[in-house]
């Protein structure tokens, strides 16, 4: 057992340096974000303005909210590839329902409220289906959600008849403040993002459910033997992600007022990237909501800087993000 002995005797120089280094690792994403912001400020004076900061946060909100849910799924040892398609299908269904209801119900607010309920409900139901197939059906999460990735998007394309599903103008006007409006000078999507992130962090760290999610990701057998209701926790985790997708979608719909086969394309990869950049291990067990939020912001700051400066072509945006993901993964290797 000697290597463990090294861990157990803390008060020595080498161990203290190691502990400090370990803690610094945890701040990696934050440090990266700070460095990026400094670079952005030096490159373009407009970067460090409140307007730009809020703009970046608003754009991050969709992916960020989904990433918080994804963080739970990945920590539990799972994955969900379908979130982009799910968002698109939910957006389509939501718009179809609201257009239909608007013909019979006079109040646009009520119609929109019902649309939002549908969005959350569909998200939860899709999550429930994923969770049941994965836990009770014992199919790998990768396979289940690879399947639904195709199913969700195909149904949206079918409903939209290959084109776009568009929200009625009157409704779109009534709905637009949800995306474009702000409270105390901060846009609504940013508020929602903040609430989801805080709630996520609280649930993960301060509830029994959150502890179970981590335990299952660390070693599912141990959790099962320790009387943890593993299947129930897994189903709840996918439902939580579904709800996050629902929330992101109800914020997204007023932005463009339509859903098309390209809606939410590659969101799943952006959300997974945010989680991983935030220091969560892809194999599960350990991770943090804070890291995920920082990861999501970091990725959108990159594209923001590329937009504001002309050093690197915006066409290379995805490439720069790709390099960052690989560099972060390189820096975090062997931490566990």
Partner 1 sequence: MSLSVEFRDITRSFGPVQVLHGVSFALAPGKVVGLLGENGAGKSTLMKILAGYLEPTSGEIVVDGQPRHFRDSRAAEAAGIVLIHQEFNLAEDLTIAQNIFLGHEKLRGWLLDDDAMRQATREVLRQVGLDADPDTRVRQLIVAEKQLVEIAKALARKARLLVMDEPTATLTPGETQRLFALMAQLKAEGVTLVYISHKLDEVEKVTDEVIVMRDGRFVARQPTASLTRHAMANLMVGRELSDLFPPKDPVPEGAPLLQVRGFTVPGWAQDVSFEVRAGEILGFAGLVGAGRTELFEGLMGLRPHSAGIVQVDGREVHLRNSREAANEGITYLSEDRKGKGLLVDFGLRENLTLMNLRAYARPVLSPAREQEALEGAVRSFGIRTGDTRQRASALSGGNQQKLALAKVLQPQPRVVVLDEPTRGVDVGAKRDIYFLIQRLAREGQAVIVISSELVELIGLCHRVAVMRGGQLTATVHDEHLSEEELIAHATGTR
Residues that bind partner 1 (CB under 8 A): 1-10, 12-15, 18, 205-208, 210-212, 214-215, 218-219, 221-229, 285-286, 336
In whole angstroms, how close is the CB of 137 to partner 1 at the nearest point? 17
> Least distance from C-beta 273 to partner 1, angstroms?
24
Terminal CA-CA length for the chain: 18
Measured from the CB atom, the residue of 24 and 222 that comes closer to partner 1 is 222
Q: Which is nearer to partner 1, 50 or 336 (CB)?
A: 336
Nearer to partner 1, 50 or 227 (CB): 227
Nearer to partner 1, 233 or 274 (CB): 233
State in angstroms the smallest separation of the CB of 288 from partner 1. Answer: 15
Q: Rounded to an integer, what is the distance from CA 111 to the centroid of its chain?
A: 27
Answer whether 273's CB lies under 8 Å from 325's CB. yes
Beta bridge pairs of residue 186 = 183
CB-wise, 100 or 232, nearer to partner 1?
232
State in angstroms the smallest separation of the CB of 18 from partner 1: 7
Query: Cα separations (Å) of 16 from 10, 19, 322?
Result: 7, 5, 34
Nearest to 65 by CA among 5, 123, 133, 135: 123
Give, as one character, the DSSP assignment of residue 287: -
Q: How far is the CB of 149 from partner 1 (least distance, A)?
A: 28
Q: Round to whole Å and give the CA distance between 263 and 62.
A: 12
| Nearest-angstrom CA–CA distance, 234 and 222 | 15
């Amino acid at each position: 057992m000697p290597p463990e002995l090294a861990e157990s005797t803390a008060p020595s120089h080498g161990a203290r340096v190691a502990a400090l280094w370990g803690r610094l690792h945890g701040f990696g994403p934050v440090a990266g974000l700070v460095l990026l912001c400094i670079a952005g400020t030096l490159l373009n004076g407009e970067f460090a303005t409140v307007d730009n900061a809020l703009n970046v946060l608003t754009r991050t909100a969709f992916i960020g909210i989904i990433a918080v849910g994804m963080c739970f799924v990945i920590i539990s040892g799972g994955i969900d590839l379908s979130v982009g398609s799910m968002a698109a299908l939910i957006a389509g269904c939501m718009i179809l329902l609201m257009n239909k209801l608007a013909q019979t119900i006079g109040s646009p607010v009520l119609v929109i409220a019902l649309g939002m309920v549908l969005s959350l409900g569909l998200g939860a139901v899709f999550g429930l289906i994923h969770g049941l197939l994965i836990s009770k059906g014992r199919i790998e999460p990768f396979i289940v959600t690879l399947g639904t990735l195709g199913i969700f998007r195909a149904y949206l394309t079918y409903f939209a008849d290959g084109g776009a599903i568009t929200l009625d103008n009157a409704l779109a006007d009534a709905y637009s403040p949800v995306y474009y409006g702000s409270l105390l000078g901060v846009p609504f999507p940013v508020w929602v993002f903040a609430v989801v992130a805080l709630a996520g962090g609280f649930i993960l760290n301060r509830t029994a459910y959150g502890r179970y999610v981590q335990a299952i990701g660390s070693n599912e057998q141990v959790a099962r033997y320790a009387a943890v209701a593993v299947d129930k926790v897994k189903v709840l985790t996918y439902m939580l992600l579904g709800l996050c997708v629902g929330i992101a979608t109800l914020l997204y719909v007023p932005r463009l007022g339509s859903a098309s086969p390209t809606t939410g394309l590659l969101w799943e990869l952006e959300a997974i990237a945010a989680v991983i950049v935030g220091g969560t291990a892809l194999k599960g067990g350990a991770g943090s909501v804070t890291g995920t939020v920082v990861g999501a912001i970091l990725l959108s700051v990159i594209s923001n800087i590329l937009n504001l400066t002309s050093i690197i072509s915006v066409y290379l945006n995805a490439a720069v993000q790709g390099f960052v993901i690989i560099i972060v993964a390189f820096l975090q290797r062997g931490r566990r």
